[in-house]
Amino acid sequence: MWSELRDLREGIDLGTPPRSGAPVTVEVDGVEVSVPEGSSVMLAALTAGRAVPKLCATDTLEPYGSCRVCLVEIEGRRGFPASCTTPVAEGMRITTDSERLADLRRGVMELYLSDFPEEELSGGWSEFHETVAALGVDSHPYTDAANHFELPVDDSNPYFLFDRTKCIVCSRCVRACDEIQGTFALTIDGRGFASMVVASQDESFLQSECVSCGACVQACPSHALVEKSLFPEGYHRAEPTEA
* Same domain, residue pair 25 and 61: yes
Structural domain including 20 reads 1-97
* Same domain, residue pair 21 and 47: yes
Contact (Cβ atoms closer than 8 angstroms) between residue 105 and residue 73 = no
- pLDDT, mean of residues 119-138: 93
Torsion 102-105-107-110 (CA) sign: negative
Q: Would 91 be classed as within a structural domain?
A: yes
* Same domain, residue pair 12 and 84: yes
- pLDDT, mean of residues 186-193: 95
CATH code at 90?
3.10.20.740
Domain-ending residue, one of 69, 97, 125: 97
pLDDT attached to residue 2: 37
Residues 6+ apart with CB under 8 A from 229: 159
* Same domain, residue pair 91 and 106: no
| 43-98 pLDDT tens trace | 999 999 999 999 999 999 999 999 999 999 999 999 999 999 999 999 999 999 99
Q: Would 147 be classed as within a structural domain?
A: no
Q: Would 242 be classed as within a structural domain?
A: no
The answer, yes or no, to whether residue 111 has pLDDT greater than 80, is yes
| 173-189 pLDDT tens trace | 999 999 999 999 999 99
The answer, yes or no, to whether residue 242 has pLDDT greater than 80, is no
Domain count, the chain: 3
pLDDT attached to residue 4: 41
pLDDT class of 239 with cuts at 50, 70, 90: confident
CA distance 203 to 23: 47
User: What DSSP string describes 29-61?
Assistant: TTEEEEEETT-BHHHHHHHTT-PPP-SS--TTS
CATH code at 201?
3.30.70.20
Q: Would 111 be classed as within a structural domain?
A: yes
Q: Would 146 be classed as within a structural domain?
A: no
Tell me the H-state helices in 149-196. Answer: 172-176
Q: Would 235 be classed as within a structural domain?
A: no
- As a whole number of angstroms, the longest Cα–Cα distance in the chain is 57
pTM: 0.91
* Same domain, residue pair 14 and 59: yes
Contact (Cβ atoms closer than 8 angstroms) between residue 99 and residue 32 = no
The percentage of residues in the chain with a pLDDT greater than 70, rounded to a whole number, is 94
Tell me the H-state helices in 65-161. Answer: 99-113, 127-134
The answer, yes or no, to whether residue 27 has pLDDT greater than 90, is yes
pLDDT attached to residue 145: 84
